[in-house]
Amino acid sequence: MNQRKRNSWLKLMALNACMLSSLPSTGLLAQTSSDKPTQIEVDLTKDKGPLKPIWAWFGYDEPNYTYMKDGKKLLTEISKLSKIPVYVRVHSLLVTGDGEAALKWGSTNAYTEDANGKPVYNWTIVDKIFDTFIERGMKPIAQIGFMPQALSTKPEPYRHHWKPGDNYNDIYLGWAYPPKDYAKWSELVYQWVKHSVAKYGQKEVESWYWELWNEPNISYWKGTTEEYIKLYDYTADAVKRALPTAKMGGPEVTGPGNEKSHVFFKAFMDHIVNGKNYVTGKVGTPIDFITFHAKGAPKLVDGHVQMNMGTQLRDIDKGFEVVASYPSLKNLPIIIGESDPEGCAACSEDFSPQNAYRNGTMYSSYTAASFARKYDLAQSRGVNLAGAVTWAFEFEDQPWFRGFRDLATNGVDKPVLNVFRMFGMMPTTRVDVKSGLAYDYVRVRDASVRAEADINALASKDAQSAAVMVWNYHDDNVPAPDAPVSVRLKGLPNKKVLLHHYRIDKEFSNSYEVWKKMGSPKNPTTEQVAELEAAGQLKELSAPEPVTVTSGEATLNFSLPRQGVSLLKLSWD
């Protein structure tokens, strides 16, 4: 560097130092960028209604992982991160088989028939799955499906043996077909609900959600739209006969923004309101909640992963629009039965390189930013969003950090799980975050995050605390300088306030980075596993510290790495 360039560089560094020293500090200031700080204003006096725990909903394809070693460990951790019961949705609860776990497969053998065609019911494995949930204070979203082999109109071939890299369509075999006998199907459902009430009690089962099938607008359902509607009528009738106060819903279509999905969704909703019931012959069918799925669409661009949050939000918005168009159904709870950055949890990174976002902080920052916008979309459509299911769990006995869409690997929590720990620490009344930031929900929905970074926040309060979740997200997973952030809070009490600052980035709450620093061991030692487990927990950026409140206001300054997430938790007596 010549002397002239060196002098210019020194002047620039002095100017940066001067800018940073002029900012109010709480001891958290550690900017590495000379950009002007992003100003975020949080007004605790402006309530925006309840911050519903829409994040406390999870699901996965492989039901038999539920009661396996790492499955039970992860479910325990998920149950502990939430103040309220977590709901869990799994596939294949009525599939015929021996209960062996495999990718995108599960079975319970709940229904078979003897040599004379007489039904044989066996609830052993179903109960084992639900027991695991209920022992942890969790609740099932009891998915009624898929078709037992003895009832399938095409019973052979029945079981698939799919693995990453295979054709995804290979999975849709005999379990995806309509029943050959709707009366036997109805009796199966009736017996399941009746058994559940006998085993767990009426009050417990009344707190569950019962639903029919999964994504019937694509190959998960090999029947017609009308056959699904017929199956729904028979299923809803059976559920309500067994327990009139049970909550029954559907249709779990995927991608409401897609024309075929939209047509299917509307046909189902029209039937619910005005159709002739296949069982009763009367107009209409019982429904207590409405479900659909929404996914993003990552891809590789110039060698890096580029997410597409906008695709997911547009599908959510279209689903809300459909529900809102039915006045008699508009206020029913909506559960987004799968709400994720893309569609295939079991498609690992080694065969699907666009899924390389899953191990690190891109998944966690995407989750923070997208969930915040779900609240806004529901409010804008005037609908009742109850939950958004994250379709991610764990994959038993798979290579470390293989790049599945999961929350943990071999019993070690990944960064994304810590976002849910942050959500679980937030109070229940949402408060105003001042608009005027680079992105609002409309811009993310319509254009995703392709220009400047989305540095934004979600905030809430109760009588003795407040929390602000701040993220620095971008669709493109490329290096960028840390961003200086200044959070100004209004409406604080004029008393002693204590700040805890939690962080997810490359250095904090990140088992993946620790694993890579170890040399990415394929078989970590016992000591390494213990270190990874500790690294997977939510960490504080610094020691708790007091915050100076003046006239009900305080300003918190810090730097936030790209794809990082901070939770500022303030408490007072």
Do residue 465 and residue 417 come from a single domain?
A: no
**Is the distance from CB of 438 to CB of 468 less than 8 angstroms?**
no
Segments forming the whole domain that contains residue 112: 50-425
* Pair 399, 469 in one domain: no
Task: Kindly state whether residues 450 and 397 are assigned to the same domain.
Answer: no
Handedness of CA 131, 132, 135, 141 (dihedral sign): negative
531 inside domain: yes
**pLDDT at site 65:** 98
Residues 418 and 432 in one domain: no
pLDDT beneath 50, residues of the chain:
1-34
The answer to whether the beta carbons of residues 549 and 492 sit under 8 Å apart is: yes
Which CATH number characterizes residue 299's domain? 3.20.20.80
Secondary structure class of 200 (helix, strand, coil):
helix
**DSSP letters spanning 378-429:** HHHHT-EEEEE-EE-B--TT--TT---SBSEETTEE-HHHHHHHHHHTS-SE
- H or E element: which one contains 88? strand 87-90
- 252 and 300 co-located in one domain: yes
- In a domain, residue 11? The reply is no
**Which among 510, 511, 513, 503 has a CA at the least distance from the CA of 482?**
503
pLDDT score recorded for residue 17? 34
State whether 475 and 524 are in the same domain: yes
Residues 453, 408 within the same domain: no
With contact defined as beta carbons under 8 Å apart, do 392 and 345 qualify?
A: yes
Residues 420 and 432 in one domain: no
Q: Are residues 438 and 350 in the same domain?
A: no
Final residue of a structural domain among 407, 425, 443:
425
Q: Output the domain CATH number for residue 539.
A: 2.60.40.1500
Tokens of residue 499, six digits = 């700040």
Q: What is the pLDDT of residue 35?
A: 73
- Catalytic pick from 41, 62, 211, 215? 215
**271-307 per-position pLDDT tens digit:** 999 999 999 999 999 999 999 999 999 999 999 999 9
Contact call for residues 418 and 354 (beta carbons, < 8 A): no
Distance, CA of 402 to CA of 356 (rounded, Å): 9
User: Are 421 and 474 in a shared domain?
Assistant: no
340 forms bridges with which residues in the sheet?
295
Note if the pTM is more than 0.85. Answer: yes
Residue 67 lies in a domain: yes
CA trace torsion 395, 399, 403, 405 (10° rounding): 10
- Distance, CA of 548 to CA of 550 (rounded, Å): 7
Instruction: Confirm if 448 and 63 have CB atoms less than 8 A apart.
Output: no
Which residues on adjacent β-strands are paired with residue 335? Answer: 291, 387
- The verdict on 408 and 444 lying in the same domain is no
Picking from 390, 425, 460, the residue at the C-terminal end of a domain is 425
User: Does the active-site annotation cover 215?
Assistant: yes
- Is residue 446 in a domain? yes
- Pairing relation of β-strands 57-60 and 87-90? parallel
